[in-house]
A and B are shown apart, each in its own frame.
Chain A
Amino acid sequence: AQSVTQPDIHITVSEGASLELRCNYSYGATPYLFWYVQSPGQGLQLLLKYFSGDTLVQGIKGFEAEFKRSQSSFNLRKPSVHWSDAAEYFCAVGDTTSGTYKYIFGTGTRLKVLA
Chain B
Amino acid sequence: DTGVSQNPRHKITKRGQNVTFRCDPISEHNRLYWYRQTLGQGPEFLTYFQNEAQLEKSRLLSDRFSAERPKGSFSTLEIQRTEQGDSAMYLCASSPPLSRHTGELFFGEGSRLTVL
B23-54: CB near A (< 8 Å → 1, else 0) gives: 00000000101010000111111001000000
Q: With a CB–CB cut-off of 8 A, which chain B residues contact A42? A: 109
Interface residues on B, range: 20 to 34
The B42-93 residues at the A interface (CB cut-off 8 A) are 42-45, 48, 55-56, 91, 93
The A77-115 residues at the B interface (CB cut-off 8 A) are 90, 92, 94, 96, 98, 100-108
Q: With a CB–CB cut-off of 8 A, which chain A residues contact B108? A: 43
Q: How far is the CA of A7 from the CA of B45 in the complex (A)?
A: 21
Interface residues on A, range: 20 to 34
Q: With a CB–CB cut-off of 8 A, which chain A residues contact B95? A: 101
Asked if A43 and B110 make an inter-chain contact with CB atoms under 8 angstroms apart, the answer reads: yes
Q: How far is the CA of A106 from the CA of B113 in the complex (A)?
A: 22
- A41, A43, A102, A105: the one within 8 Å of B42 (CB): A105
A25-49: CB near B (< 8 Å → 1, else 0) gives: 0000000101010000111101001
Asked if B107 and A43 make an inter-chain contact with CB atoms under 8 angstroms apart, the answer reads: yes
Interface residues of B (CB under 8 A from A): 31, 33, 35, 40-45, 48, 55-56, 91, 93, 95, 101-105, 107-110, 112
Would you list 6 pairs from A and B whose C-beta atoms are within 8 A, ordered by A residue? A42-B109, A90-B43, A101-B95, A102-B105, A103-B45, A104-B45
